[in-house]
């Protein structure tokens, strides 16, 4: 009788797990139960997309640290599944996507410790300045009443009627406004960096012999004064717009033969003058800067101005490959329309993809090289039901950021940190304390909380996630430390109980989640947000001590399952084995 060796006996005993001398081979999909073990392969990072470019230079690996938590019950059964695929990395997430806009009418900022504290905790990364249309009438190095001698006292409006220019000044230290130096101080105190929008309008309405050169010189002097504190510079703001200073000029005061109305071709010619001056200034001080030019984000409507209809082609024909990045703006929903929650939420995917495609088509048609895309203003235009200050605006913000990641935008900055109540048609992330709002000054609005918990739980690499339920939108990311973050949005009016399944991932012992619901649990527009049941004490906003809100947590023995209330966002982080 042939004897069996000890080593052979051991191999036979282990045969149920694996062939002797070989790694185990099990299905690539995991139900989320820790006893399902697979061989995890680290996917390679894809090359940085051209449309992301240098905006990802600040990318850093993120490690997940388990938060303080309350033991919670996961649902016993589910009626939907979200599949998370960690076998492929879509992109490393650009740290420049979470920006916001400051403006010149939100106080000196550094005199508002509560505001600085919230901004520091949120850490948008980039804060744009001086903000919107004001950029076109802003003189960074002047004190109030001391505009350049060649800046006319009156400017024409869109209809040609002359009115006071209404210039703004960087050396204004009044308490109600924001000086340039305090903008820099605010960035330093909150740990953020800037993107600066230069005064292009001055190249149009200036009445010197060469207004474009004068405006470019002023901009270059700002680069010198900045001395490397700011990397990103925009040439103008929405210069195609009929509402913008410089769209129409008083030709009787113009000395270089410019047309009454701006064109993309003219802006492009002027942009090259700016670019040359800015680069010369940066070289002199030994700093690297990146310069952006404005494009339109969508095909102009049939009723659009002739300026809009030829804007992109004119700009690109003139600037060619001179600019470093392309700028677009979008307010996603139809202007001044009482849009419903579902109408608003649907725009995040549709409009973001449409913007990306439109810019790339314009660039290809013009025969110039692709460049990083910066969405330097975005929000919603929906009005009539206090949409802008509602929890729906917060959900929309989360969806937009996730879609920007998927579509590989380089940079984005939401409009804006603070504005004015206007019966709830207020884009501000924070309240300015208007009496009609019932809010205290600098109180974070619902959107702040949706963005805060998104960034708190977001990994550093975007991966794919798909849902079996049309009402559930799913997004996922991984941490460099191995955990998976999943963002689940229930845009329906019924609770959904969801199980997460994973590909190329072994679940660890626990998963953690934060559930954000708006209003009093309703699916309409509410001014409150509750985080794991914790909400505001007043009529609006979220939990006052949002940092201290504990996560919910459960063991993964029965899988990773969470309940999604109607119109909610749930952020889930699952430990690795």
Please give the share of the chain, as a percent, with pLDDT higher than 70. Answer: 94
**What integer is the mean pLDDT of 114-127?**
98
pLDDT at 523: 77
pLDDT at 36: 66
DSSP string, 344-394: HHHHHHHHHHHHHHHHHHHHHHHT-----EEEEEE-----SS-GGGSHHHH
**What integer is the mean pLDDT of 71-88?**
97
Distance CA 238, CA 134 (A): 11
Write the pLDDT tens digit of every residue in 189-206.
999 999 999 999 999 999
Query: Is residue 266's pLDDT more than 70?
Result: yes
pLDDT at 131: 83
Tokens for 341, please give them. 């929650």
**What integer is the mean pLDDT of 355-368?**
98
Q: What is the pTM of this model?
A: 0.94
What are phi and psi for residue 467, nearest 5 degrees?
A: -115, 145
Write the pLDDT tens digit of every residue in 129-186.
998 999 999 999 999 999 999 999 999 999 999 999 999 999 999 999 999 999 999 9
Write the pLDDT tens digit of every residue in 490-531.
999 999 999 999 999 999 999 999 999 997 767 789 999 999
Least Cα distance to 412 among 535, 514, 327, 529 occurs for 327
What are phi and psi for residue 348, nearest 5 degrees?
A: -60, -50
What are phi and psi for residue 511, nearest 5 degrees?
A: -135, 155
**Distance from chain centroid for Cα 171:** 29
Cβ neighbour number for residue 376 with a 10 Å cutoff = 26
Query: Is residue 10's pLDDT more than 70?
Result: no
Contacts of 509 (CB under 8 A, 6+ apart): 34, 555, 556, 575
pLDDT at 37: 84
Cβ neighbour number for residue 470 with a 10 Å cutoff = 9
Structural element, H or E, at residue 6: helix 6-13
Domains of the chain, CATH where assigned = 10-48+61-92+461-576 (2.60.40.1180), 125-153+190-313 (no CATH)
pLDDT at 9: 37
The torsion angle over the Cα atoms of residues 106, 109, 114 and 116, rounded to 10 degrees, is 120
Local confidence band at 29 (pLDDT 50, 70, 90 cut-offs): low
């Amino acid at each position: 009788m042939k004897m069996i060796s000890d080593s052979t006996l051991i191999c036979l005993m282990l045969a149920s797990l694996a062939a002797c001398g070989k790694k185990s081979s099990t299905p690539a999909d995991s139900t989320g139960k820790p006893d399902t073990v697979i061989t995890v392969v680290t996917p390679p990072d894809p090359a940085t997309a051209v449309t992301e470019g240098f905006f990802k230079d600040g990318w850093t690996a993120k490690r997940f640290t388990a938060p303080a938590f309350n033991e919670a019950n996961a649902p016993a059964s589910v009626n939907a599944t979200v599949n998370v695929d960690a076998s492929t990395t879509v992109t490393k997430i650009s740290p420049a996507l979470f920006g916001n806009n400051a403006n010149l009418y939100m106080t000196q900022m550094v005199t508002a410790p509560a505001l600085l504290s919230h901004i520091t905790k949120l850490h948008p990364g980039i804060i744009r300045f001086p903000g919107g249309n004001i950029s076109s009438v802003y003189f960074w190095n002047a004190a109030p009443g001391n505009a350049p001698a060649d800046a006319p006292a009156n400017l024409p409006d869109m209809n040609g009627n002359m009115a006071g220019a209404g210039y703004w000044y960087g050396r204004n230290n009044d308490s109600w406004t924001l000086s340039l130096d305090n903008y820099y101080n605010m960035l330093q105190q909150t740990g953020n960096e800037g993107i600066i929008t230069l005064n292009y309008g001055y190249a149009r309405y200036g009445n010197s012999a060469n207004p474009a050169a004068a405006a470019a010189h002023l901009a270059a002097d700002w680069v010198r004064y900045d001395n490397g504190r700011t990397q990103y510079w925009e040439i103008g703001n929405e210069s195609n717009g009929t509402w913008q200073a410089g769209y129409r000029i008083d030709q009787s005061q113009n000395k270089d033969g410019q047309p009454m109305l701006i064109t993309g071709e003219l802006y492009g010619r002027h942009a090259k003058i700016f670019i040359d001056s800015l680069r010369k200034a940066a070289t002199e001080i030994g700093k690297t800067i990146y310069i952006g030019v404005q494009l339109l984000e969508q095909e102009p409507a049939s009723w659009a101005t002739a300026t809009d209809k030829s804007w992109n082609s004119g700009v690109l024909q003139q600037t060619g490959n001179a600019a470093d990045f392309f700028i677009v703006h979008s307010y996603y929903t139809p202007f001044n329309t009482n849009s419903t929650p579902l109408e608003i939420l649907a725009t995040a995917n549709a409009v973001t993809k449409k913007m990306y495609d439109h810019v790339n088509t314009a660039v290809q048609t013009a025969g110039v090289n692709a460049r990083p895309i910066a969405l330097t203003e975005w929000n919603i235009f929906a009005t009539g039901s206090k949409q802008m200050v509602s929890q729906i605006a917060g959900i929309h913000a989360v969806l937009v950021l996730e879609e920007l990641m998927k579509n590989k935008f380089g940079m984005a900055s939401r409009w804006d940190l603070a504005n004015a109540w206007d019966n709830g048609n207020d884009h501000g992330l924070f309240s300015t304390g208007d009496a009609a709002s019932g809010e205290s000054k600098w109180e974070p609005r619902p959107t702040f909380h949706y963005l805060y918990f998104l960034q708190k739980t977001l990994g550093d690499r975007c991966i794919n996630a798909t849902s079996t339920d049309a009402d559930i939108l799913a997004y996922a990311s991984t941490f460099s430390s191995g955990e998976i973050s999943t963002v689940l949005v229930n845009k329906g009016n019924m609770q959904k109980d969801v199980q997460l399944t994973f590909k190329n991932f072994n679940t660890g012992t626990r998963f953690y989640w934060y559930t954000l619901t708006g209003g009093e649990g309703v699916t309409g527009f509410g001014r409150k947000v509750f985080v794991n049941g914790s909400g505001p004490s007043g009529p609006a906003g979220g939990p006052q001590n949002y940092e201290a809100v504990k996560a919910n947590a459960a063991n993964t023995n029965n899988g990773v399952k969470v309940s999604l209330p109607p119109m909610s966002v749930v952020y889930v982080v699952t430990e690795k084995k």
